[in-house]
Amino acid sequence: MRFDFIKCHGSGNDFPLIDARAIDLDDATWGGVARALADRAGPVGGDGLLLLTRGDDRHAFGMRMFNADGSEAETCLNGLRCVARAGFEALGIEAASVKLMRSSAEVARDAALASGVYTVRETVGPAEIDTAGWPLRIDRATTIEQVVAPLSSEMAFTAVAMPNPHFVAFVDTIDEATLVALGEKCEAAPDWLPHRANVSFAQVIDSATLFVRTFERGVGLTDSCGSAMAASVVAAGLTGRIAFGTEIAVLNAGGLVRGRAGDDLIVRLSGNTTFEWRGSAEVDAGRSRAGGLTIAGHCDDEIAAWAALADSILQRR
């Protein structure tokens, strides 16, 4: 099968994006396509695969996201912005309701983060703090800055679903080796966490700035995870570190988003959706391999605009 796609990223979280509104494949095949196109050793690479899908009576269009390991995620907020832009351009609109796996989101074109940076605002939630549906099999229904004994006997976590599950720990310094070890413990799908979860370390830089580093379920250590940044904004409010209603700059290894959570746990994120290049590739979904890459064109102005913003972010840390 040959697929046309856009290589894009939201805050450094990069994906091939396929307009799949007229493509009908089963989940197993899409999982194979994701493994092929997202393979970092292959011709494309990415943190996963994004699909722009058909809408319905309530939604202008839909989104699906497959992780690099072929598993499907409930949502991906960095990816949602990219799909939103593709949907806007396909339909000639600038705001929409989007159908997700188990929920909906509102998206709209927003004021640019910087000159030349296409920016989308996404509204999701409310975030869920009852972990029964994860399921998280420990002896309490909610976890707000508490030890999760099977995960760590020392660190305190806040558990938030966006609706994909996240553990957020606030730390003074980010130890990536520890983060990876905890992420891999969740990735193993133990009996107490059979559907796995994302793990983030968050630093409070000041009263309106966070830095977040994430081990993403199905991906591993990633430069950016939109739902993790949303979960961290909620966790900052739940733990009293940053007041609900505050607009927060959420920095990450890939860039930043603007975030705000209300005490109703509705979250608004505004961030980039940068199209880098357009191309096509042959995919053997059964063998999870891609080849025959053809690049139709690069988006040099967008790449340069994002690079300038990213450089300025590095100076803030």
What amino acid positions are annotated as catalytic residues?
Answer: 76, 225
The Cα 126–Cα 262 span in angstroms is 9
Residue 62, φ and ψ in degrees, nearest 5: -125, 170
Q: Looking at this protein, which amino acid is placed at residue 226? A: G
Cβ neighbours of residue 3 under 8 Å, at least 6 residues apart? 18, 33, 37, 280, 281, 283
Cβ neighbours of residue 106 under 8 Å, at least 6 residues apart? 95, 96, 97, 98, 122, 123, 124
Helix 77-91, helix 226-238: angle, nearest 10:
120
Q: Looking at this protein, which amino acid is placed at residue 235? A: A
Q: State whether the Cα torsion 82-242-235-250 is positive or negative.
A: positive
